[in-house]
A and B are shown apart, each in its own frame.
Chain A
């Protein structure tokens, strides 16, 4: 493995009630985050292909950890997202290299299909900062009930020479969706949008 992983944390959040109403079945979101060494910390590097390879590795590892933590079959995943936070000795472009070129394909394998673009966010940060991972339906980006996000934070990461890479997967949308738009059951899931 190219990625030098210091730690991995996986969190599952389950909502059983909201505004006095039972949510049945509960909505569930998982986020898996890896803390890796930034191979380019402290210097400018033109060729970021090592980070692209790391992205490919982590897309699979973190996607599988989410699915496993939710205890679902890959095809039962409903939405996903990805994010990275780069420690102060790196640059924002390092996050882009991890997230965009190669992370998606292995993640899609972990959640089966995934016709839609994987929504993403990135930032520079320091230990304890909060990273908000956006969520969107995995097969049809316009499914309105599944637009959401999940926070991830680790008190000791990212250190200056590290990068935090997060993947989020759910088996459901928001707890009480009622703002209309395309419904999950009406989605075709062919073009990734509708």
Chain B
């Protein structure tokens, strides 16, 4: 397997104090990290692609660490998500290789006790500058309605045709003016990853 080649890394933090309603003392924080890497399978069909998941593991952990640093520590992380944009010489299946290394990297860093919920994800094949709306849900219980959100990510010069953009995202709590009801974070059982 060829060595993992990262062309660029983008990290971003958004602090939201209000959206027309009462101003919060502590802002709602959304952070994301994107790594733009060479797609080793670009340009031809390969039937054996799973070994690349192993190669992506260290990158996943490195990105999760950066993201947690942006969040000011693991204790501040309440929501997460992941995504991939595959350049046009690749296929959607290449993006699916990110599910395990991306998701488990965040769950490892946050601890098994807290990160019981499946990491929501999305992926697509896209051109340079493509934007991706990455879904976000609560780290312990997927049904916590206040934490459903999404983060738009992208980079004006990526992914090139033979690249993939791999993304991890985190948030520190509920949407800024959450009031749509449903399961609340304070009511979760924290056993099955759902409630």
Binding site for B on A (CB under 8 A): 5-18, 26, 69, 130, 151, 153-156
Contacts and interface: CB of A to CB of B under 8 A. Distances in A.
Nearest to A14: B9
Contacts of B16: 6-7
Interface of B: 5-19, 27, 131, 152, 154-156
A187 B108 CA distance: 48
A151 B8 contact: no
A18 B5 CA distance: 11
14 contacts: A6-B19, A8-B15, A9-B13, A11-B11, A11-B13, A13-B8, A13-B10, A14-B8, A15-B8, A17-B6, A17-B7, A69-B13, A130-B156, A151-B156
Given A10-B13, A17-B5, 4 more contacts: A10-B12, A13-B8, A16-B6, A17-B8
A145 B23 CA distance: 43
Classify the secondary structure of A's interface with B.
strand
A16 B8 contact: yes
B157 to A, nearest CB: 9
B9 A16 contact: yes
Contacts of B7: 15-18
A155 to B, nearest CB: 4
Contacts of A17: 5-8
Contact of B14 (A5, A7, A18, A151): A7
